Amino acid sequence: MGYNFAAGPSVLPAEVLKKAQEELLDYAHSGMSVMELTHRGPEFSDILSRAKASLRDLMQIPENYKILFLQGGASTQFTMVPLNLAQGKKAYYVESGSFGKKAFTEAQKLAKVIDFEPISLGSTEQSGFDHLVSFASSQIDPEAAYVHVTLNNTIEGTAIYDLPETNGVPLVGDMSSDILAVNYDVTRFGLIYAGAQKNIGPAGVTLVIVREDLLPQVEIFSSMMDYRILAENDSLYNTPPTFGIYMAGLVFDWVKSLGGVPALEENNRKKARLLYDEIDQSSFYQSPVKFEEERSICNVTFRTNSPEMDKKFIAEADQLGFKNIKGHRSVGGMRASIYNAFPYEGVNELVKFMKEFEEKNDL
Amino acid sequence: MGYNFAAGPSVLPAEVLKKAQEELLDYAHSGMSVMELTHRGPEFSDILSRAKASLRDLMQIPENYKILFLQGGASTQFTMVPLNLAQGKKAYYVESGSFGKKAFTEAQKLAKVIDFEPISLGSTEQSGFDHLVSFASSQIDPEAAYVHVTLNNTIEGTAIYDLPETNGVPLVGDMSSDILAVNYDVTRFGLIYAGAQKNIGPAGVTLVIVREDLLPQVEIFSSMMDYRILAENDSLYNTPPTFGIYMAGLVFDWVKSLGGVPALEENNRKKARLLYDEIDQSSFYQSPVKFEEERSICNVTFRTNSPEMDKKFIAEADQLGFKNIKGHRSVGGMRASIYNAFPYEGVNELVKFMKEFEEKNDL
């Protein structure tokens, strides 16, 4: 056996996979696999409405927010968000990591054909995104459409735990890597989006939670990118990723069974603390993150004193069953992605290995 | 037990579902579910490249065509096709069914922000799309970007089996409901796209097969809609729908094991003939399709003399386990969707029931 530290797609709850396996050929005595159910029938309709209700409950999403199950990943939202929300307005971007930068770049691309003004509130790229951009509420034009933030920077291992003040302008949050893992206040956001493949379910489902008053008033040039059309059709404008939505529903039930998001956040903090304590008490390992309070509890990045030693660490870890601990190719080092479904024992075992590796190699 | 006549998502091969079930918790001794595999690792890389190679083989796709596994369904391609292929040009649309009409409508929406000219070659909507639009090659400007056709009209039950001449302009084909079920000549097309949920696998995967010289030369306003970026990244620009691609690969293997596309087409023709023979020899049932040669072998539409009798037929059929035989809400009547994975026996049983129902009700 081993532990899968992948940043996404990543480990899923064993109970969820087992349940999916059990009913893969026959869902709820229908004689059909979930994958064979028509999306217009009563069985799938039930799956979708229960998934929505569970998520609303788990994240305490008020009734004036729509929940959409879409496709295309967070990367598609980089275009859909400004297209739907920003026409004729300013939209602010915070570039504290690679994905925040991408979101801004895509907004700039779109601004060549659609009238809106994407503005960067700053970038920490020059120092390798080793800390978060800070900005003052007074920098925000109160007439702007939104302030876009990436809650958790998967690649760099930083995260926002204190939501910034934005002069009354709605926050738009890319929550791909810590949705359901950190207990954010949904009412602080105008829109939240997240790819499923870290804390929700298999890749291929994208969650969008949007405040009704932000649905577009203008015609959008593609029905599949129009939040209003997608919301009015309750995610069934065309065939949705039915099996992925079913899996997400099972994960939501699992989160609930463990005590909900606050309980999982507490557990995630414990797992992260184990690792950060080890990193801090050692001079062999370092965190590339500048400020302690900005360290991610979902993606713990660390490195040794040299890329060669990192390589050795990754190879030996892999041999022992610590899989996918290699940092993202753009930053190097190591990364332990320890989302909701990642077990505490796995972190414990990794820390043991880190100690052993240090002893052998810190000459 | 019963038979699932759903138009999509629809029945999947039993062997494929069983195999997926067997390895759902542990793919190829990795200790991980396919859903847990990182898309950048060797296991998924192998899944993707084998799926591509199988499809290339099955459809005899020449090397100068790229195979992309995307998200968003055919409906997203309604926008992506003109965005990538038609800028600065004319693009022709054939409106022989509801989805062909939708493709044209979406092109018109996009033409408000992007410079190109969508032109309809005609519509058969006035007669309820009961036959295909016919047009002459001489109507096509040879400088145009493409002629868009829907190969199989899922809702209406018509299909193109003789590809039209287009004055040297590439065909773009929405092959969502008969890909791998009919042996089309890929080299007649510049681009083919298809949602997976009828003949390929679970909903949430969209296949695009595009001739390299048609990849866009201009900047596209969204990276996720840019065929060149998606092709250069081999469908891995962002996280793809990994489990759906895995399932598609299993279905491709299954198609191969049965003798490939020509063998399946032959089998589909046999299944369809059973139904059409029954419809033709009876005065109780009618086909809404005007011309015999345009009848779909994938979606067999039929009706009785009255909507009330149709309703009775559907209800009794459902009771007996003939599921989802109701026609699309926009046209009424009945529809038997009998794609590749739908068994011959199921069609046979349905014909038996049709005879019995006629005897009892044709008073």
pLDDT in tens, A153-162: 999 999 999 9
User: Among partner residues A17, A35, A222, which is closest to B110 by beta-carbon distance?
Assistant: A222
- The answer to whether A33 contacts chain B (CB < 8 Å) is yes
pLDDT of B185 over the 80 cut: yes
pLDDT of residue B86: 98
What's phi and psi for A158, nearest 5 deg? Answer: -115, 165
Fold of B259-361: Aspartate Aminotransferase, domain 1 (3.90.1150)
- Tell me the shortest Cα–Cα distance from B37 to chain A, in angstroms: 6
Q: Which chain B residues touch A11 with a CB distance below 8 Å?
A: 32, 36
pLDDT of residue A158: 98
Q: Which amino acid is at B103?
A: A
- Contacts with B, A 148-187, CB within 8 Å: none
- Tell me the shortest Cα–Cα distance from B132 to chain A, in angstroms: 24
- The answer to whether A11 contacts chain B (CB < 8 Å) is yes
User: A3-10+260-361 — its CATH code?
Assistant: 3.90.1150.10
pLDDT of residue B362: 83
Average pLDDT, stretch A167-186? 98
Write down the domain spans for chain A.
Answer: 3-10+260-361, 14-257
pLDDT of B1 over the 70 cut: no
Q: Read off the pLDDT of residues B248-264 as tens digits, 9 standing for 90 and up.
A: 999 999 999 999 999 99
Radius of gyration of chain B measured on its C-alpha atoms:
21
Average pLDDT, stretch B25-45? 96
- The answer to whether B205 contacts chain A (CB < 8 Å) is yes
**Percent of chain A at pLDDT above 90?**
98
Q: What is the pTM of this model?
A: 0.98
Average pLDDT, stretch A130-149? 98
Residue of chain B minimizing CA distance to A22:
B21
Mean pLDDT of chain B: 97
- Tell me the shortest Cα–Cα distance from A325 to chain B, in angstroms: 11
- The answer to whether A346 contacts chain B (CB < 8 Å) is no
Q: Which chain B residues touch A106 with a CB distance below 8 Å?
A: 222-223
pLDDT of residue B302: 98
Listed in order, strand segments (DSSP E) in chain A are 3-4, 65-70, 90-95, 117-123, 146-150, 152-153, 158-159, 171-174, 189-195, 206-211, 299-302, 322-323, 334-337
Is A241's CB within 8 Å of B241's CB?
yes
Nearest of A210, A180, A175, A209 to residue A195 by alpha carbon = A175
Whether complex ipTM tops 0.95? yes
Average pLDDT, stretch A193-208? 97
At residue B330's C-alpha, the angle toward residues B325 and B335, to 5°, is 20
Residue of A19, A104, A220, A224 to mutate for B, most B C-beta atoms under 10 A: A224
pLDDT of B334 over the 80 cut: yes
Mean pLDDT of chain A: 97
pLDDT of residue A322: 97
Is A243's CB within 8 Å of B203's CB?
yes
pLDDT of residue A24: 98
What's phi and psi for B140, nearest 5 deg? Answer: -95, 125
Is A24's CB within 8 Å of B25's CB?
no
pLDDT tier at A363 (50, 70, 90 boundaries)? confident
Judged by DSSP in three states, B335 sits in: strand
pLDDT tier at A362 (50, 70, 90 boundaries)? confident
Contact by Cβ (8 Å): A195, A203: yes
Q: Which amino acid is at A58?
A: L
The kind and range of the H/E element at B244 are helix B242-257
pLDDT of A1 over the 70 cut: no
pLDDT of B342 over the 80 cut: yes
Is B222's CB within 8 Å of A78's CB?
yes
Nearby residues of A323 by Cβ (< 8 Å), 6 or more positions away: A2, A3, A4, A5, A6, B32
**CATH number 2.40.110.10 given to B14-257:** no
Nearest of B39, B239, B27, B44 to residue A196 by alpha carbon = B239
Please tell me what DSSP assigns to residue B201. S
pLDDT of residue B363: 76
Average pLDDT, stretch A186-204? 97
Please tell me what DSSP assigns to residue A217. S
Q: From its phi and psi, is residue A168 left (phi > 0), alpha (psi between -120 and 50) or beta?
A: left
Q: Read off the pLDDT of residues B210-239 as tens digits, 9 standing for 90 and up.
A: 999 999 999 999 999 999 999 999 999 999
Q: Read off the pLDDT of residues A21-53 as tens digits, 9 standing for 90 and up.
A: 999 999 999 999 999 999 999 999 999 999 999
User: Among partner residues B71, B75, B242, which is closest to A202 by beta-carbon distance?
Assistant: B242
Average pLDDT, stretch B179-200? 98
- Tell me the shortest Cα–Cα distance from A102 to chain B, in angstroms: 10
- Using omega within 30 degrees of 0 as the cis cutoff, is the peptide bond preceding B9 cis? yes
**How far is Cα B210 from Cα B192, in angstroms, rounded to an integer?**
7
Contact by Cβ (8 Å): B185, B161: no
Residue of chain A minimizing CA distance to B195:
A239
> CATH topology of A3-10+260-361 equal to that of A14-257?
no
User: Among partner residues A33, A220, A244, which is closest to B17 by beta-carbon distance?
Assistant: A33
- The answer to whether B299 contacts chain A (CB < 8 Å) is no
Judged by DSSP in three states, B291 sits in: coil
